[in-house]
Structure formats: C-alpha cells, structure tokens
Amino acid sequence: MAIMTKTDTKAAKGRRAADPEAAGPGKEKRAAKGGRKGAGRDKAAAESFVPSLPSINVLPPAVMERERVERLRRTFAVAAVGAVAAVGAGFVLQAGAISSANAELDAESAKTSQLSAQAAALAPVKTYYVTVEANEATIQQTMSREVLLSDVVDRLYATAPPTVDLGTVSIAVDTTPVLPDAAAAPLDPAAATTGACPSPDPYVAPGESAGCVTITGTAASRAALGDWETQLSRTDLFDNLFISSSAAAAEAGPNAITFSASVSVTGAAYVNRYADPAFVEGRTR
C-alpha cells in the first residue's frame, strides 16, 4: 500500500506544471499539433546553433609587443637572406659576363696581332702603291700643259686656202707644269698663259694664250689673206691673227704678196690627257 504525502502531492503537481506534455489530453493534442508545425524550424535552429565559450586575452601587452618584434625580426632576416642571395647571384652573373668579355677581348687581341703581322708583311706593297700614286701625281703635274705640236701644225695648214702658202712656220708654246700650291687656288691645266704674240690692236695688250705661231709665206692676193683670217677665226685653237708686214711679189703673180704674220694658240692646245689615270696607267691610248 503506497502512502502519498503532501510533499509528494506538491511535487507531482509541480512536475505536471513543468511538463507541458503531462497537462492533460487536450493539451497533449495541441502540443502534438504545435510540434508538427515547428518541427522543421526547431531542427534547423538546432543544426545552425553552435555553442562556444567566450575568448578572453589575458596576456600582458609586453608579451604581444615582444611577439610582434620577433615577427619583424624574422621578416627582416628573411629579407636580408634574400638580398644577400640576390647580390650573390648578381655577382656570379657579372663575374661570368666579365669572364666572357675577357675571353672575347683576348680573342680579338690575338686577331689584332695576326692582322698587325700581316700588315707588316704587306708594308712593302703599300710602299709600292704609295710610290706609284706619287709618280702618277708627278706625271700629271709635269704633263698638265702638254701640247701636241703636230696637231697644231696640221690644223694650221688645214685653215689655209689653196691661194695661201705657209712657207715657214715657227711655234713657241708654254708647257710650264702646274704645281700644287697650298697657299693659292689650284690652277686649271687647260688655262692659257700670257701670250707672246703681239696684239692686232696696238692699244690693247695681248691676251692670254698657250703659245704663238709666227709665219712667213706667200698669198695670191690680200683678199686671200682675208679668207685665211676668216678660216682661223672659225677654230677654237687660233686667235688674233696679226699681219706684221707684207710686200708685193711680182714673180708669184700680179697681185701676189709675201707676208709675215703671227697667230696666238689658245688654251685648247693643252690636251691634258695625263689627267686621266687610265692613260697614265697605260690602259688607254
């Protein structure tokens, strides 16, 4: 036989009050309905909620500062090691580049020595060519005022008509070589020099010429002399015909005369063929 005390009765009432499921049939039915509605929310809340304990830093600031300083020291040490490694790598690369450059310099120095030896062996050839060039320059200067007298005489006789006989012909030309002068302007080898022939006009000084031709001959008439003067003026080789004297020559014809004349030779008489290196070297004629 069980005996229920007052205390037990209060405890039972308290349990029923604390336990909603023990409140009665009606309450159990409502609790079941409510449980079906909020079952999903309770399950999601139970899964998302993670209990944790509060975190409290009880270390003094000096310890934290010391830890920060240690981290900085480690960072600086790593950076210093990296810098030393970079400097070492740069030194190795630079040493390799210097070594390669020295090797190339030695190779080029060896080539220079070989070329110097070859140049020394070819020095006589260079001297020969320098001598040849100097001789060519000397020849060009010496022959710069060359005049082919045969051509001058041939062209002079070609200008005389059949009625004019050039009995005696004398030619004097200026063949003074043109020499270089650093203090003066270079001379033109084809330029005429001061002529020795007298001027047809006594009031005009003789012009420049390469030479002078003096002639003693016979003409059928004075008109024939005029024709000859016309032929001379049409050439570029002769200029300034001057009849210095004339006299009748009855034995040669009724109007025949003997005459003495002079004619200037222009600068066209200078052939200047030695100015051509090919002619000096004998490659052309």
Candidate from 52-56, 134-138, 209-213, 257-261 with smallest mean pLDDT: 52-56
Q: Determine, yes or no, domain membership for 73.
A: yes
CB 213 within 8 A of CB 131: no
- Does 162 share its domain with 247? yes
Q: Is the pLDDT of residue 60 over 70?
A: yes
Domain final residue pick, 121, 141, 158? 121
Q: Determine, yes or no, domain membership for 278.
A: no
Closest C-alpha among 28, 111, 35 to residue 103? 111
- Does 160 share its domain with 81? no
Q: Determine, yes or no, domain membership for 240.
A: yes
pLDDT digits (tens, 9 = 90+) for 68-87: 888 888 898 888 888 888 88
- Does 103 share its domain with 213? no
- Does 96 share its domain with 198? no
pLDDT digits (tens, 9 = 90+) for 86-115: 888 888 888 888 888 888 888 888 888 888
pLDDT of residue 260: 93
Runs of H (alpha helix) within the chain: 6-18, 25-48, 61-121, 123-142, 149-159, 222-233, 277-280
Q: Is the pLDDT of residue 165 over 50?
A: yes
Q: Determine, yes or no, domain membership for 156.
A: yes
Candidate from 119-128, 133-142, 176-185, 209-218 with smallest mean pLDDT: 176-185
- Does 87 share its domain with 196? no
- Does 238 share its domain with 192? yes
Q: Token pair 């690369």 is at which residue?
A: 93
Q: Determine, yes or no, domain membership for 173.
A: yes
Strands 238-248 and 211-219: unpaired
Token pair in block for residue 140 = 């060009």
Measured distance between the N- and C-terminal CA atoms of the chain, rounded to whole angstroms = 167
- Does 103 share its domain with 182? no
Average pLDDT in the chain: 77
pTM above 0.75, yes or no: no
Q: Is the pLDDT of residue 204 over 60?
A: yes
Q: Give the span between the Cα atoms of 184 and 41, in whole angstroms.
A: 120
Domain final residue pick, 121, 141, 167? 121
Q: Is the pLDDT of residue 181 over 60?
A: no
pLDDT digits (tens, 9 = 90+) for 221-237: 999 999 999 999 899 99
Q: Token pair 């006299």 is at which residue?
A: 247
Q: Average pLDDT in the 126-152 region?
A: 87
Q: Determine, yes or no, domain membership for 56.
A: no
pLDDT of residue 50: 66
Q: Determine, yes or no, domain membership for 212.
A: yes
- Does 174 share its domain with 212? yes
CB 220 within 8 A of CB 255: yes
Candidate from 128-137, 179-188, 251-260 with smallest mean pLDDT: 179-188
- Does 200 share its domain with 241? yes
Q: Which residues contact 255 (CB under 8 A, 6 or more apart)?
A: 220, 221, 222
DSSP-assigned letter for residue 270: B
- Does 164 share its domain with 250? yes
pLDDT of residue 155: 93
Q: Token pair 């920060």 is at which residue?
A: 68
CATH number for the domain spanning 213: value is 3.30.70.2830
Domain interval for residue 69: 63-121
Strands 193-194 and 208-209: antiparallel
What is the total count of domains within the chain? Answer: 2
pLDDT of residue 92: 86
Q: Average pLDDT in the 129-136 region?
A: 88
Q: Give the span between the Cα atoms of 217 and 228, in whole angstroms.
A: 12
DSSP lists the bridge partners of residue 172 as 212
Q: Token pair 């490659």 is at which residue?
A: 283
Q: Average pLDDT in the 47-75 region?
A: 77
| 239 backbone dihedrals φ, ψ, rounded to 5° | -160, 155
Q: Average pLDDT in the 187-198 region?
A: 59
The more confidently predicted of residues 117 and 178 is 117
- Does 157 share its domain with 243? yes
Q: Determine, yes or no, domain membership for 209.
A: yes
Question: Confidence class of residue 49 from pLDDT cuts 50, 70 and 90?
Answer: low
- Does 165 share its domain with 221? yes
67, with CB counted inside 10 A (0-12, 13-18, 19+), is exposed
Q: Give the span between the Cα atoms of 221 and 226, in whole angstroms.
A: 9
Q: Give the span between the Cα atoms of 27 and 135, in whole angstroms.
A: 143
Q: Is the pLDDT of residue 53 over 80?
A: no
